[in-house]
Amino acid sequence: MSSEVLRVSNLRKRFNDLLVIDSISFSIKSGEFFCILGPSGCGKTTLLRIIAGFEDYEGEVLLKGEKIKKPGPDRVLVFQDYALFPWRTVIGNVLFGIESKLQKREALKVAEEMLKLVGLEGFEKSYPHELSGGMKQRVALARALVCDPAILLMDEPLSALDAQTRMEMQAELVKIWQRTKKTIVYVTHSIEEAVFLADRILVLSKRPARAKALVEVKLERPRNRFDAKFTEISQKIYDLLKD
Amino acid sequence: MKLRIFYVSISVSIFLIFWETFYYFFIRDPFLLAPPSKVIPTFVKLITLQDPSFKMPVDIVFSLYHYALGFSSALIIGISLGLLMGFSRTLENLLSPIVELIRPIPPIAWIPISILLLKLTHTAAGFIIFIGSFFPILLNTRHGVASVEKKFVEVALTLGASRFEILRKVIIPASMPSIFTGIRVGSGVAWMCVVAAELFGVSAYGLGYQIEIARLYHAPEIVISYMVCIGLVGYALDNVYKFLASRFLRWRRGLVVE
Ligand SMILES: Nc1ncnc2c1ncn2[C@@H]1O[C@H](COP(=O)(O)OP(=O)(O)OP(=O)(O)O)[C@@H](O)[C@H]1O
Ligand SMILES: [Mg+2]
């Protein structure tokens, strides 16, 4: 029985007159890989930004019992387009969140270990524009992980990658998640990706987003995309999204 | 590199030949204009301190002193004010009307009031140079801060950065390219203002001052030698900033076509 990290209840969000999120409730357990799945434009990014602390909202969003009011390193958001600082090297980017909190040598050690974990040893001194999309995403992931957040928020982090790299990164993300035991909230609009990654999947409706279902994926990891059970769950979610 | 030297020598030669022929066909009066065949030896004489009344190296030092006086204060005040205006809405709203009103006044129009107020001093020259270079630096810095992408600030926030850290670790480095543009434009204007300010005799030395004295002597070869010197020093100054920019903005290589 793991403990609850995040609780969202009766969450509503409007931009002026546009209702984007309509009374959503769910909670996330510690160490869980939680996917949010929904059609394009339904409000997934908005939901993630609310948890990150960038948007105001109606209702309740509690992190370990405390209301979320502003952004902070206990909930690091990984942006879809990486948003690496182009004026910093790879190691400089990873150091950003810890250099003022840890001693220089210790910070460097933590950052280098994290780069090893995401498979970027030897690229410490490269600048972001010298990296491929997959490598940039790894840097963004390492930069978030060194802050040791209670929740890692990821907004379609792999959607800009080609299919091959994307599948490799998914497998690697699962490994990193297993090793770091982080709670991950992962937004995607790909059913296959959600089923491959998640412990549970929150399926959202078209805008305004409502919770359609909460699907539990009880498959062993590493998962096989061609497994009968895998396709069965995918089919079920597909039907859910359709109507 | 070899090719570049080749092109430079070709273009300079063509220009000099054109100038020389122009002089011999149309002017032919040593009190009005001097041909390069006369300017070049004069320049060499002046720069090697062989002339009793025109000491060019000393004038360079004095002009650079005026330049440093005005330009360094413009740098400090322009960059800090630009950062603050870009960072704080209130300050921007408060200061930008003043800036917009004062900016269109050409630096040269400030010379009389500057001399009345500060007399014929180095500070008076420095003030004119400050006025000239302050605005490009301020405006480019402010523009740089205003165009920092929002996502970088958000990343910093989500990684736990404080307001001051955001200024130091995001706003300033992200605005650096723009700040350097301001520095180069500002330095160019500052150098032009040096000549203008010195014309009015704020000190007994300086490139701008001597160019006017040489005119009173009816010595166009000295006037032109000083013009060449002003051009060369200005070119050297710009190259210093170009070099510094390429050192500080290494990360931009591969992002923009220079
Ligand atoms: N700052 C804002 N102001 C006004 N409307 C906004 C704002 N941000 C988002 N919206 C609107 O809210 C809706 C949901 O946007 P959101 O980005 O959350 O969708 P999404 O599910 O992430 O879409 P996608 O799959 O395309 O990324 C959209 O209709 C969008 O136009
Ligand atoms: Mg989105």
Residue B17 shares a structural domain with residue B110: no
Residue B234 has pLDDT above 90, yes or no: yes
- Please list all protein residues whose beta carbon sits less than 5 angstroms from ligand 2, which is an ion: A 45
Whether B248 is covered by a domain: the verdict is yes
Whether A207 is covered by a domain: the verdict is yes
Q: Return the residue matching tokens 């992200």.
A: B174
Element (H, E) at B191: helix B172-199
Residue A156 shares a structural domain with residue A236: yes
Whether A157 is covered by a domain: the verdict is yes
Total length of chain B: 258
Contacts of B254 in chain A (CB under 8 A): 127, 129-130
Residue B77 buriedness (CB in 10 A; 0-12 / 13-18 / 19+): middle
Residue A126 shares a structural domain with residue A38: no
The distance from CA A188 to its chain's CA centroid, rounded to whole angstroms, is 9
Whether A183 is covered by a domain: the verdict is yes
pLDDT level of residue B87 (50, 70, 90 thresholds)? confident
Residue B10 shares a structural domain with residue B89: no
Range of the domain at B211: 36-252
Whether A79 is covered by a domain: the verdict is no
Last residue of a domain, one of A126, A148, A170: A148
ipTM of the complex: 0.93
Residue % of chain A over a pLDDT of 90: 93
Number of C-beta neighbours around residue B138 at 10 A: 24
Mean pLDDT computed over B183-187: 96
Distance from CA of B169 to the nearest CA of A (A): 8
Mean pLDDT computed over B157-170: 95
Whether B144 is covered by a domain: the verdict is yes
Residue B4 shares a structural domain with residue B109: no
DSSP type of residue A3: P
**Total domains in the fold of chain A:** 2
Does the CB of A69 have a partner CB in chain B at under 8 Å?
no
Amino acid making up residue B168: R
Asked if B56 and B226 count as a contact pair (C-beta separation under 8 A), the reply is: yes
Mean pLDDT computed over B57-71: 96
Residue A102 shares a structural domain with residue A219: no
Pocket test for ligand 1, best of A13, A20, A48, A80 (most atoms within 8 A of CB): A20
Whether B179 is covered by a domain: the verdict is yes
Whether B257 is covered by a domain: the verdict is no
Closest alpha carbon to A184 in A66, A62, A65, A75: A75
Residue A93 shares a structural domain with residue A156: no
Do strands A183-188 and A33-37 pair parallel, antiparallel, or not at all (unpaired)? parallel
Q: pLDDT tens across A108-134, in order?
A: 999 999 999 999 999 999 999 999 999
Whether B153 is covered by a domain: the verdict is yes
Residue A178 shares a structural domain with residue A236: yes
Residue A234 shares a structural domain with residue A173: yes
Mean pLDDT computed over B156-163: 95
Does the beta carbon of A54 lie inside 6 Å of ligand 1? no
CA angle B240, B190, B218 (to 5 degrees): 105
Residue B153 shares a structural domain with residue B28: no
Whether B136 is covered by a domain: the verdict is yes
Residue A141 shares a structural domain with residue A189: no
Give the global pTM.
0.87
Residue B9 shares a structural domain with residue B54: no
Residue B68 shares a structural domain with residue B155: yes
Closest alpha carbon to A161 in A184, A191, A138: A138
Nearest-CA residue for ligand 1 atom 23 is A41
**Total domains in the fold of chain B:** 2
Residue A125 shares a structural domain with residue A94: yes
Residue B71 shares a structural domain with residue B51: yes
Last residue of a domain, one of A148, A175, A198: A148
Residue B83 shares a structural domain with residue B15: no
Asked if A195 and A233 count as a contact pair (C-beta separation under 8 A), the reply is: yes
Among B149, B151, B159, B162, the strongest candidate for a mutation testing the A interface, having the largest count of A CBs within 10 A, is B159
Closest alpha carbon to A48 in A13, A94, A98: A13
Residue B29 shares a structural domain with residue B133: no
**Residue A12 phi, psi (nearest 5):** -130, 150
Cβ-count burial A70-86 (b if 16+ within 10 Å, e if not): ebbbbbbbbbbebbbbb
Residue B215 shares a structural domain with residue B153: yes
Residue A206 shares a structural domain with residue A179: yes
Put residue A12 in one of left, alpha, beta given phi > 0 → left and psi -120 to 50 → alpha.
Answer: beta
Does the beta carbon of A207 lie inside 6 Å of ligand 1? yes
Whether B45 is covered by a domain: the verdict is yes
Asked if B132 and B109 count as a contact pair (C-beta separation under 8 A), the reply is: no
How many helices (H) and strands (E) chain A has is answered by 7, 10
Rounded Cα distance, B201 and A39, in Å:
74
**Residue A166 phi, psi (nearest 5):** -60, -45
Q: Which residues pair with A184 in a beta bridge?
A: A33, A152
Cis? peptide before A222, omega within 30° of 0: yes
Last residue of a domain, one of A100, A127, A148: A148
Number of C-beta neighbours around residue A89 at 10 A: 20
Structure tokens given for A214: 């909460």
pLDDT level of residue A1 (50, 70, 90 thresholds)? very low
Q: Return the residue matching tokens 């930069």.
A: A143
Residue A156 shares a structural domain with residue A68: yes
Residue A222 shares a structural domain with residue A236: yes
* Closest ligand to the CA of A206: 1
Rounded Cα distance, A147 and A100, in Å:
11
Q: Return the residue matching tokens 């204060």.
A: B73
pLDDT of B242 reads 93
Does the CB of A226 have a partner CB in chain B at under 8 Å?
no
pLDDT of B201 reads 83
Residue A19 shares a structural domain with residue A51: yes
Whether B58 is covered by a domain: the verdict is yes
Q: pLDDT tens across A45-97, in order?
A: 999 999 999 999 999 999 999 999 999 999 999 998 999 999 999 999 999 99
Whether A19 is covered by a domain: the verdict is yes
Q: Check which CATH number belongs to the domain holding B216 and give it.
A: 1.10.3720.10
Q: Check which CATH number belongs to the domain holding A52 and give it.
A: 3.40.50.300
Contacts of A77 in chain B (CB under 8 A): 154-155, 158
Mean pLDDT computed over B174-191: 96
Cis? peptide before A208, omega within 30° of 0: yes
Range of the domain at A108: 84-148
How many helices (H) and strands (E) chain B has is answered by 11, 0
